[in-house]
């Protein structure tokens, strides 16, 4: 059913964990549907320097989480945003049709983390100027 690559990423997932002081956190899916993915990123000079994930889900969900974190690590934000569910699935040598939604999960989650980073980043700037004006 699954490619060897999927099984490798499922059995030996890369970048599992949390980043306490993450710059951006994405969380998508819900327990009702059987999959939740949470991604933490550290960003320095627009480069994703570190990334960790935690996933509740099936083998494909865990494998796509793992590979997608590998795909964006060390990449610029813009490059990371180019990730698609197709590229995630391809990087795993394909996914069974019924599992394609899992690769959507990874794409959405990476994008959510980046959005969160941008919001916070923007907020920080806004907050900073707000603070300034208050002070």
Partner 1 sequence: MDRIIYLDHAATTYTKPEVLKEMLPYFTEIYGNPSSVHSYGRETRKALDLARERTAKALNADPAEIIFTSGGTEADNLAIIGTATANKKKGNHIITSSIEHPAALHSCQYLEKNGFQVTYLPVDEYGLIDPQDVKEAIKENTILISIMTANNEIGTIQPVREIGAIAKEKGVLFHTDAVQAVGSIPNDVRDMNIDLLTLSAHKSHGPKGVGALYARKGVRLNHISHGGAQERNRRAGTENLPAIVGLGKAIELATQDIEARNEKLRALRDRLISGILSSVEYTRLNGHPTKRLAGNSNFSFEFIEGEALLLSLDMKGIAASSGSACTSGTLDPSHVLLAIGLPHEIAHGSLRLTLGDENTEEEIDYVLEVLPQIVQRLREMSPLFNQDKGGKIYV
Residues designated as active site: 33, 102
Query: Which residue from 22, 23, 26, 57 is in contact with partner 1, where contact means CB under 8 A?
Result: 57
Strands annotated E in 34-116: 35-44, 47-56
Indicate the residue among 66 and 72 with the shorter CB distance to partner 1.
66
d(CA 41, CA 102): 20
d(CA 51, CA 90): 21
- Least gap, CB of 93 to partner 1 (angstroms): 16
Give the x-and-dash track for 88-117 against partner 1 (CB under 8 A). --------x-xx------------------
| 93 CB-contact burial (10 Å; exposed 0-12 / middle 13-18 / buried 19+) | exposed
Binding site for partner 1 (CB under 8 A): 1-2, 7, 10-11, 13, 16, 27, 31-38, 54-62, 96, 98-99
């Amino acid at each position: 059913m699954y490619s060897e690559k999927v099984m490798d990423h499922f059995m030996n997932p890369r970048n599992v964990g949390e980043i306490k002081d993450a710059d951006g956190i994405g969380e998508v899916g819900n327990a009702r549907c059987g999959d939740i993915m949470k991604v933490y990123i550290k960003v320095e000079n627009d480069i994703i320097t570190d990334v960790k994930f935690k996933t509740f889900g099936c083998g494909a969900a865990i494998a796509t989480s793992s590979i997608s974190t590998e795909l964006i690590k060390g990449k610029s934000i813009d490059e990371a945003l180019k990730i698609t569910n197709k590229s995630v699935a391809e990087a795993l040598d394909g996914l069974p049709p019924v599992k394609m939604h899992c690769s959507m999960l990874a794409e959405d989650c990476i994008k959510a983390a980046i959005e969160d980073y941008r919001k916070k980043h923007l907020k920080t700037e806004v907050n900073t100027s707000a603070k300034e004006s208050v002070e």
